[in-house]
Structure 1
């Protein structure tokens, strides 16, 4: 394992770019661990310095209801990069950074805002809001960019200066504002992350849109109302589910113009879970994903009463602590076994292949992201070489949309692994979003 990927003794702005995305193990296996240090975060411009962590600077208009969902509580500048610095950062992440895509420098902010938890109770969340350094009179479209699987809360886009910022910076440098929610329990939000709970990821994303609209006004910028949805891995599923939610009820003043998720696990029951057992998902990633999923979903659905019902010794005594949001993947991965048979009890290994009870409930609650009729064009980016989230997930999503009369092509990124699908797809998506009218 390449342990140079994270150095906690280094200052935050010089940390190595972490592996982020669904099953961090895939990045190691794919040889993409060469993401090196992120660009130094410049000090916040003087004109913005007094805004840091000061909710009292919110205008009277923005204060009308500070308890409402999406109410903006705090704006913290976190980065100010020139176009050249953005290009260097993207290049280190192996993202294409040509002049036709990277046109502007960016300013990035951490937003703290009101949202609801998995039970609908008031809570707070954070997210990354990025503005391009375009002329201030220009109205900006907004990209909602949903991140992939992350285990440590500091990996979230608003905190970690690493992989989670590659796509947001890319889209902002191309000329759009970007709202990248951390989700619940990641970043600076309280509690544990309810991994793969689609409903709460969607509500956090909706409320991030509301907070971003307020933040743009605070920064003297105007959002056009045009909304573009993307996301990678877990975030691909979130992007589709967010589109479905917005289609049903909307979030003023936004209108979805295009949807382009990458390598999302859209079909847990029909494709992703069977792929854990038929060889399409590699063992390291399968163990990582399933452990995280079972621990997080058990807090929402009755899968087990005691970890020993599901996990073999010694993993039953450690697995819930490993996914507490305070452990890095460098700590989690070596503490897990090499295969699902080593992880799971014999009884649960058999039962999980024919899910029932709370497990079936969890799967059904998180399927259906593609079960709607988008008015905006949809492209599903994936990779036939993906052994984390097999391309059959995208094909299943495309088939569901086709039943509604919607043509959503699966754009195959070739034989690259999971992380490679994001590296190849995101620059193409930025150009597509720029061309959509």
Structure 2
């Protein structure tokens, strides 16, 4: 579905970048183990069976169950880590401390579950902190999630925290240390997990004596760009009285699956490797929420019908998944389902439309949509259609085109620009 995947596009280059980032972070955190033992007023609080089965009410959602230190970096360490991914470092003003939060939330069906996320605080800056909600792009393996993985998922959280804001970065359901499978591209449950992550972060911030102001700056990349728009709408509608939306700056989100993303699978605007990966992930995950087929063989050709469900169990890496899939959608899908994806109807159309429409509202905060005309994962038509939806409601949203850059580079280029823009917005309040 045209969302960020750590190693789908230009896979060898991105794997090299990931390894470089991992080495940079490892070098920067030589003292972390010692820091974990001395972090102020923090202890691992494991979730037991009784807690896991607790009935989650509106009052319980976002309850903090554990707060675990995962990183302690100086300013220079943060700068080296961000530079290893090709990200500008002129906005790095502070070192940081990062924590994994475990908290109560709900499944897509509304039943109780737990989720995890990364909470990051700057070393320095004001005592009371604004918070950036940063929602990540597509990840197939649970260990790539921000609270566990030490590479791609941490670039934006570390960037924003080093600029002087707290960061709440949810892993989403079924990723990180959360139970079950990830309901990929289920925007509704990604929003509930993100709101509940903000609630858990508010508690964590109080416990760490760095309280939050309640002002939220929402950003996210790819799948997370879609989530950021939907989260902004939820906050604007009063999802939690403690939080006020101040600005929206999503990057390369698939805001219009029906009219921009899916047509691009067939006209060359989305590259084949990414398109096959995203579509397989989308169909297998959505089938658990909006039954699309009774048996995988109705949608997928053999031998793929027999393996696709297991490939996306959150325990396989992209480097394992991609070689196991064919080179084209025609080789992947049955004739009937290939036509369905070209011209969605019935259950598939309902699943697509359940994710669309998140730009059809009137934010009363400034909005910028970051994208690039060179993106072959999420074509810029998504951002332009989103801007048009907002304009129809009287909202001027600037589309920032990063030019002939690929999907992941768009993210790296946009991040520091977003920090500077958030600084400008914050100065007005």
Mean Cα deviation higher: 23-32 or 66-75: 23-32
One of 39, 60, 74 as aligned partner of 2:25 = 39
Gaps of 5+ in 2: 48-56
1:155 to 2:144 alignment: yes
CA contact (8 A) 2:6 2:152 kept: no
Equivalent in the alignment of 1:74: 66
Gaps of 5+ in 1: 1-19, 57-64
CA contact (8 A) 2:117 2:170 kept: yes
Q: Secondary structure at the match of 1:236?
A: helix
Q: How does 1:191-340 map to 2 (within 5 A)?
A: 191-340=180-329
User: How far, CA to CA, are the matches of 2:386 and 2:66 in structure 1?
Assistant: 37
CA contact (8 A) 1:130 1:168 kept: yes
Change (3 A) 1:398 1:22: farther
User: How far, CA to CA, are the matches of 2:331 and 2:289 in structure 1?
Assistant: 25
Change (3 A) 1:23 1:392: farther
Size of the aligned set, in residue pairs, is 407
Equivalent in the alignment of 1:109: 99
Q: Deviations over 1:269-299 (max 9, x none)?
A: 0100111111110000000000000000000
CA contact (8 A) 2:4 2:377 kept: no
- Give the superposition deviation at 1:23: 6.5
CA contact (8 A) 1:381 1:411 kept: yes
- Give the superposition deviation at 1:52: 3.0
Equivalent in the alignment of 1:181: 170
Q: Secondary structure at the match of 2:195?
A: helix
How large is the RMSD of aligned CA atoms in angstroms?
1.7
CA contact (8 A) 1:27 1:33 kept: no
Equivalent in the alignment of 2:78: 86
One of 409, 412, 418 as aligned partner of 1:429 = 418
CA contact (8 A) 1:23 1:285 kept: no
User: How far, CA to CA, are the matches of 1:113 and 1:218 in structure 2?
Assistant: 15
- Give the superposition deviation at 1:22: 3.5
CA contact (8 A) 1:21 1:232 kept: yes
- Give the superposition deviation at 1:67: 7.0
CA contact (8 A) 1:22 1:234 kept: no
Q: Secondary structure at the match of 1:188?
A: coil
Change (3 A) 1:255 1:200: same
TM-score, normalization: structure 1? 0.90
CA contact (8 A) 1:66 1:72 kept: no
One of 388, 394, 397 as aligned partner of 1:408 = 397
Runs of 4+ in 1 over 6 A off after TM superposition: none
Q: Deviations over 1:122-142 (max 9, x none)?
A: 11000000000015x621110
One of 6, 13, 21 as aligned partner of 2:4 = 21
- Give the superposition deviation at 1:226: 1.1
User: How far, CA to CA, are the matches of 1:418 and 1:32 in structure 2?
Assistant: 14
